[in-house]
Structure 1
Amino acid sequence: MSKQEVTTVGNLGFSKNGLPLEVKYCTKCVESNQRFIGSAPHSDQKSSQKDHIIFDDEGVCSACRYFEYKRTINWQEREEELLELLARHRRTDGSYDVLVPGSGGKDSRYTAHILKHKYNMNPLTVTWAPHIYTDIGWRNLISWIHSGLDNILYTPNGQVHSTLTRLAFENLLHPFQPFVLGQYNVAPRVAMEKDIKLIFYGDFYPEKGIGSDVDFTQKSFDTRLFTRTEKQDLYLSGVHINDLPRHGITTRDLHPYLPLEVNRLSESGIEMHFLPYYLNYDPQRAYYYSTEHTGFEVNPDGRTEGTYTKYCSLDDKVDGFHFFTWFIKTGRGRATEDAALEIRNGHLTREEGVALVQRYDGEFPQKYFQDFLKYVSLDESRFWEIIDSFRPEHIWKREGNEWKLRQQVS
């Protein structure tokens, strides 16, 4: 079955991977209707209209509608709700009472620092290690810890992780899938081991507006995302787990990547909450807060490849390829992600956002290209062969020897 085979849902055409064949852009921000839940559609993922961002009859995306709703929120009442939640979990015996997953970037820094210093909690931070640390990423992790926090750094088996990353790149064009799975599952596992009943995350799904049934009042993670049943058919990096031994990966190697059993998590009493539900969050303010209070450093190159910002996703040499493969599969990249959010937060006009997207979206992450090829054991020709095989026909066209987007935000 071809990657580009089309299915029809109702009267709308969708690609096999669930993307609308008619590309549209939000009339308020620069978001595309190709925005998919997580990072992008994969060939082993069942397509659903609920998985991508939804535009209303006025051409406005659900994320922009959330930000309109956000202006009506009584933040004092939300903070009182937060205080009640924290009071239920706060401990007086010196043990940890909240877990904050993160890399030491602006969001996790803001979350951990404010919980500790404003709300008198005793946080434990936990980090799922990047594929390959950048210099600035390592410095930021160390300065985060030295700002006054305890941390567990979980580093997966390097041979297993690089193999899974290569397979995910080859089969799904998603080199970040193994990292994302490990990052998701390490927090509840550590919380259970340390008997911590509260986990706080620094980002918030309604701000990204994914799905036709976005719940603007969602305050906590759906724990089903972190669980599995014994009989569930599991795939990792596009390979059934029973077939992974052919690639030198045994069942016991997979433990860090697999979700917890349903009963273990449901019976643990662990709650997983989003801090931006309770506090009026703005990534740019979090950046300034983290710089002032925790010594956060920005990209020393002035900006990050693929975008105009300098304070997002700095810790991993594979980050750029995560966003670049996202751009290949959906036609929207890191600059779109950044500009859409900054327009919603009032830091950019739509016109400014359009100009930035047109200038930076899809820029190739050349700086760490050789590091990436070495990590996934591929040569350059094979890399581009895989990249080109995943270009959706409704997004890309070839003119001579050059690939071009059929449509871009304007």
Structure 2
Amino acid sequence: MTTATGQPALFWCKTCLNMSTRPRIEFNDQGRCNACQWSEEKKTFDWSSRMNELKALLEKHRSKTGEFDVVIPVSGGKDGSYVSHMLKHEFGMHPLAVTITPPLSFSIGDQNLQNYIASGYDTIQINPNQKVMQELNRRGFLEQGRPLYGWVIAILAGVIRTAANFGVNLVMYGEDGEIEYGGSTESKNRPVFTAEFMKRVYLEGQYEKTLRYLSSQQTYFWRFDADDQKLGNIECAHFSYFESWDPYRNYMIAKEHCGLQEKEESNTGTYTNFAQNDTCLYDLHTYLMYLKFGFGRATQDAGIDIRRGAMSRDQGVMLAQMYDNCYPEPFIEKYLDYYQISREIFDETIDKFANKDLFYKDGDRWMPKFEIV
């Protein structure tokens, strides 16, 4: 399959497994994706200037009265734990950790959050109206094929709103996934980002539509209020901008210092067991990602391992073929109950978002028309 210009309509990065179908991704003339290009650039990058930027940003927001200096979104997972450890113990900041409780949480995710709290961090756990959360996630699933859309909004807007309520004007997220894993490069050389960027890129321009018909009172923890001066003063940053980001290193540090535990078995749809252990809805998210774009959870994990030199591309291809097309069978009844829909509506929604150019239906399962090359 080729385009009118003779270029392949479907292709993979020559170094990792990123596909041409990935939203906002870019490739160079050698067929390498921007995530791989950045991975190589990081090895020769002069991080000292960005470290100076970080120090200046932290000093700008360091409290003179002993109050909180920075808000960190956390779940008890590897990345928020790592950022917390670094800001508190390496830079002497006084962080306030904020957790937006996930729907349909795993017990290991709940335990990891408790372990994180016990390791010595002031933590607020926010439970936004669960009926509203349920409705927003339902809309995200039925209208966009994004089963966790409401939770993702709250991790952005709700955390910023909480920072404003505490008078903290710096929110530090973990990695910029667009830069690290392949996507938009517009924030590559920009230390802070805005609510407009979140809505346009992370929420893919569907924010206002998804919140339609809900009152401002109902959506307090989901709103980016442009006319709210307190919110307008807040700067948001990714810690990955300031250093060479390494998810596996984060995992090891979180395990040592914050009590992070991994599952005994691998996660659904991949060969790893230590990341994204918050909610079973993430398993549905990655399955739909696979059906929409042709790459799943194992492809993403393999790409990270290939770029850090822990795996060959051939090994990654084998693992993606083994794990990517993994239907989240164990949780179907939970999904139906949570979204308050029938199995028929659930199956129709899955079918609606399956990319017919990439997949064909064999019985009641979608199968790939392609092979990774």
Which one of 83, 89, 96 corresponds to residue 117 of structure 1? 89
Distance 1:267 1:389 in 2: 39
**1:155 and 2:127 aligned:** yes
Which one of 153, 156, 165 corresponds to residue 184 of structure 1? 156
Alpha-carbon offset, residue 352 of structure 1: 1.1
**1:208 and 2:172 aligned:** no
Distance 1:261 1:313 in 2: 31
Alpha-carbon offset, residue 184 of structure 1: 1.0
Distance 1:80 1:95 in 2: 23
Which one of 256, 261, 275 corresponds to residue 226 of structure 2? 261
Distance 2:64 2:210 in 1: 47
Distance 1:104 1:312, change over 3 A: same
Which deviations, in whole Å up to 9, do the C-alpha atoms of 1:294-316 show, x marking residues without a partner?
1101113x210011111111011
Distance 1:171 1:12 in 2: 33
Aligned residues, how many? 366
**1:63 and 2:50 aligned:** no
Check whether the contact 1:97–1:121 (CA below 8 A) recurs between aligned residues: yes
TM-score (norm. length: structure 1)? 0.83
Check whether the contact 1:21–1:394 (CA below 8 A) recurs between aligned residues: no
- Structure 1 unmatched runs, 5+: 1-9, 14-19, 37-51, 229-233
The answer for the alignment partner of 1:409 in structure 2 is 372
Alpha-carbon offset, residue 362 of structure 1: 2.2
The answer for the alignment partner of 1:34 in structure 2 is 21
The answer for the alignment partner of 2:260 in structure 1 is 296
Alpha-carbon offset, residue 341 of structure 1: 1.5
Distance 1:311 1:409 in 2: 26
Opposite residue 289 of structure 2, the aligned amino acid is: W
Check whether the contact 2:104–2:279 (CA below 8 A) recurs between aligned residues: yes
The answer for the alignment partner of 1:22 in structure 2 is 9
Check whether the contact 2:160–2:231 (CA below 8 A) recurs between aligned residues: no
Distance 1:53 1:235 in 2: 19
Which deviations, in whole Å up to 9, do the C-alpha atoms of 1:315-373 show, x marking residues without a partner?
11211111111111111111111111221111211111111111111212223222122
**1:323 and 2:286 aligned:** yes
Distance 1:236 1:74 in 2: 37
The answer for the alignment partner of 1:49 in structure 2 is none
Check whether the contact 2:134–2:150 (CA below 8 A) recurs between aligned residues: no
The answer for the alignment partner of 1:252 in structure 2 is 217
Q: Secondary structure at the match of 1:404?
A: strand
Pairwise CA RMSD of aligned residues? 2.5
Distance 1:69 1:216, change over 3 A: farther
Distance 1:203 1:304 in 2: 21
Alpha-carbon offset, residue 222 of structure 1: 3.3
Distance 1:92 1:73, change over 3 A: same
TM-score (norm. length: structure 2)? 0.91
**1:287 and 2:277 aligned:** no
Opposite residue 137 of structure 1, the aligned amino acid is: G
Identity %: 31
Q: Secondary structure at the match of 1:28?
A: coil
Structure 1 window deviating more from structure 2 (67-76 vs 78-87): it is 78-87
The answer for the alignment partner of 2:351 in structure 1 is 388
Distance 1:180 1:398 in 2: 30
Check whether the contact 1:178–1:237 (CA below 8 A) recurs between aligned residues: no
Check whether the contact 1:127–1:152 (CA below 8 A) recurs between aligned residues: yes
- Structure 2 unmatched runs, 5+: none
The answer for the alignment partner of 1:5 in structure 2 is none
Which one of 335, 358, 361 corresponds to residue 398 of structure 1? 361
